[in-house]
Amino acid sequence: MTQQLRLMAVHAHPDDESSKGAATMARYVREGVEVLVVTCTGGERGDILNPKLADDPEVLANIADIRKQEMERAREILGVDQAWLGFVDSGWLENYDPANASDLPEGCFAREEIPVAAERLVRLMREFRPHVVLTYDEHGGYPHPDHIQCHNISVAAFDAAGDPEQFPQAGEAWQPQKLYYHISFTKAQFLAMHEACLAAGIESPYGERLEDWPDEWDKGKRITTRIECGEYFALRDEALKAHATQIDPDGPWFRAPLNIRLAAWPTEDYELAKSFVETEKPESDLFAGVRS
């Protein structure tokens, strides 16, 4: 097609874009696709997960500004554009149930009414006019309040953006053609990387987790689409490390050598949740059916 292809990835916090779908985005950018990352919150209530910075008083005092700076570095590494949706981080709540959102801080993202929060995203969708939208599944990928809310507003905005009667003040209607959910860290993926480590004669960082893997964690059967993007894994690692408050460079993300991760599982994987175009599964292109 002669029209410029556009991809929008909607994420809850700065750093989520680098841990989910980063290599996919880097690949498409370099193939000429316009890619916009939408970051719903500033990550203001996020913990400092890098032990090397956990007690740094400057980091503790300026976490919101620092996370914006980290996002800017990661954005430059991946080559994407990025927009802040402007909501406030809800913080982590153990065993979170959306029915108990009132337990979260007043004014936070997860306590926003879904139509109210979705309107901001509808406006961005109508401005950017994406053909494909990426977001989290109904469980948020994992049950962080902001991830679940990110799913909620992404689906609501996807459904509303093409309807001129919904949010008429938010711009001219535009219907994205496909909606995908990230399907990350499946048992098959961890097992492949575990076995690759053992075959290479190195200690596997995945064995302990595989021993205690609840069946409900595994969403591998939901995968419809695998994007070959291994040549961009190094960029993905670099973008992750740019989020220095959130990522320990000596932590579990990087314990297996890059060449082993690349050989064992060279794709990032997705579930096609909604589509207005015909496509044949399994897919190897997020724009399958859109290009023709």
Q: Which residues are annotated as a binding site for Zn(2+)?
A: 13, 16, 147
Phi, psi of 84 (to 5 degrees): -90, 135
Which helix (H) or strand (E) segment holds residue 93: the answer is none
Q: What is the CA radius of gyration of the chain?
A: 19
Query: What Å distances lie between residue 189 and 66, 197, 215, 262, 267, CA to CA?
Result: 33, 12, 14, 11, 10
Q: Which two tokens stand for residue 4?
A: 């410029």
Residues found in the chain: 292
Rounded to an integer, what is the distance from CA 175 to the centroid of its chain?
21
Q: Which two tokens stand for residue 203?
A: 């200690």
Q: Which two tokens stand for residue 191?
A: 């097992």
Q: Which two tokens stand for residue 22?
A: 């980063």
Quick one: CA dihedral 34, 37, 220, 140, positive or negative?
negative
**C-alpha to C-alpha distance for 30 and 230, rounded to whole angstroms:** 14
Residue pointed to by tokens 């897919």: 283
Annotated binding site: 13, 16, 147
**C-alpha to C-alpha distance for 74 and 224, rounded to whole angstroms:** 28
Q: Which two tokens stand for residue 195?
A: 């076995």
